[in-house]
Amino acid sequence: MPLVNEKQDFLKAIGIQPASNPGPRDYNVVSRSQAGSGKLDFDAAIFDMDGVLTKTAAVHSLAWKRMFDEYLRIREDKYGEPFREFTHGGDYRVYVDGRPRHQGIEMFLKSRGITLPPESPEPGGGSESIRSLGDRKNTLFNQIIESEGAGLYDSTVALIQDLLRRGIKVGLATSSKNSAVILQKTGTVRLFATVVDGLVSEKLGLKGKPEPDIFATASANLGVSNTRAIVIEDAVSGVQAGAKGGFALVIGVAREDNVDELRNHGADVVVRDLAEISAEKINQLARAKRART
């Protein structure tokens, strides 16, 4: 089955309506208006990318599934290990979602009792290493994005534009190493004053989620302390990172009907879509949290 068709079936199976690709757009930074210039109780907002800004979380899950199922089949033939498929709910969300690529691979393989070296011991690579599995997953992901593009959550873009009008600094923090391609394809690169992604993390030696390093670095790049910045995340590991970093507010986005899960792992407030919240509501929640602490 072609990978694009497989994506449509996969999205429906996990309860997500496949998005149409409207073609490239270019979202410019909006100017701050007098009407929205009232002082807010926070100075910056740090957004996750996959699942918050873009409809790419399901694409990642599908690419991970195809890669891991291929590899588990190899192990079945080579070592006689019973094949047990990689699942979205039981494996992707538990071990991989929101984490740096190689860390996610290690965590999933460990759950199956499999240990692989970081690099292939064979000349020319091969499938028996963390890096080669990660490279294969990335190839599959980029095939889908190249053919179909990356859908956007318009409500997220609308909130970002509202925040910018009010003078709030906006950054992006993601474990993905594909942010440059995704932001370019969605026309959203100009919305963010700083981007801290998997490539930046690798260069700076930042720890991945659930550690707060990428959010704290984005906030610092904007010249704002953690206590004056909010975090918007859809992954459990992401809300854990926001809570651990002492941010002004951690907003969980429950794309998979996991409101309680996100709240129990550190989100101060949980919505199913950012259309449910506004800059004013965020301000009220941040102010109330600061008063409690």
Res 100: pLDDT: 86
Q: What is the mean pLDDT of residues 107-111?
A: 97
Q: Are residues 130 and 28 in the same domain?
A: no
The model's pLDDT over 174-197, given as tens digits with 9 standing for 90+, comes to: 999 989 989 998 999 999 999 999
Q: Other C-beta atoms within 10 Å of 21: how many?
A: 12
Question: Catalytic pick from 48, 197, 213, 268?
Answer: 48
Instruction: Considering only residues 133 and 6, tell me which one the structure prediction assigns the higher pLDDT.
Output: 133
Res 8: pLDDT: 55
Tell me: pLDDT of 136 over 80. yes
Q: Are residues 169 and 38 in the same domain?
A: yes
Number of structural domains (the chain) is: 2
> Does 7 reside within a domain?
no
Which tokens belong to 274? 């950012």
Q: Are residues 102 and 235 in the same domain?
A: no
Q: Are residues 39 and 169 in the same domain?
A: yes
Res 93: pLDDT: 85
Question: Could you say which of 148, 172, 195 is where a domain stops?
Answer: 148
Res 9: pLDDT: 59
Q: Are residues 209 and 265 in the same domain?
A: yes
Query: Of all residues in the chain, what percent carry a pLDDT higher than 70?
Result: 85
Tell me: pLDDT of 4 over 70. no
Instruction: Considering only residues 178 and 38, tell me which one the structure prediction assigns the higher pLDDT.
Output: 178
The model's pLDDT over 42-77, given as tens digits with 9 standing for 90+, comes to: 999 999 999 999 998 888 888 999 999 999 999 999
Q: Are residues 36 and 178 in the same domain?
A: yes
Q: Are residues 216 and 255 in the same domain?
A: yes
pTM across the whole model: 0.77
Q: Are residues 51 and 93 in the same domain?
A: no
Instruction: Considering only residues 169 and 6, tell me which one the structure prediction assigns the higher pLDDT.
Output: 169
Res 34: pLDDT: 36
> Does 278 reside within a domain?
yes
Res 31: pLDDT: 52
> Which run of H or E residues covers position 287?
helix 279-292
> Does 78 reside within a domain?
yes
CATH code of the domain covering residue 97: 1.10.150
Q: Are residues 51 and 158 in the same domain?
A: yes
Range of the domain at 170: 23-56+150-292
257 is catalytic: no
Question: Could you say which of 99, 133, 148 is where a domain stops?
Answer: 148
Question: Catalytic pick from 9, 26, 41, 50?
Answer: 50
Q: Binning pLDDT at 50, 70 and 90, where does residue 212 land?
A: very high
CATH code of the domain covering residue 172: 3.40.50.1000
Tell me: pLDDT of 13 over 90. no
Instruction: Considering only residues 187 and 8, tell me which one the structure prediction assigns the higher pLDDT.
Output: 187
Question: Could you say which of 110, 133, 148 is where a domain stops?
Answer: 148
Q: Are residues 37 and 98 in the same domain?
A: no
Q: Are residues 63 and 206 in the same domain?
A: no
Q: Are residues 119 and 109 in the same domain?
A: yes
50 is catalytic: yes
Res 39: pLDDT: 79
DSSP result, 4-51: HHHHHHHHHHTT-PPPP-------PPPPPPGGG-S--S-SEEEE-SBT
Task: Give Cβ neighbours of residue 41 (< 8 Å, ≥ 6 apart).
Answer: 248, 283, 286, 287, 290
Among residues 228, 245, 237, the alpha carbon closest in space to that of 48 is found at 237
Q: What is the mean pLDDT of residues 263-272?
A: 97
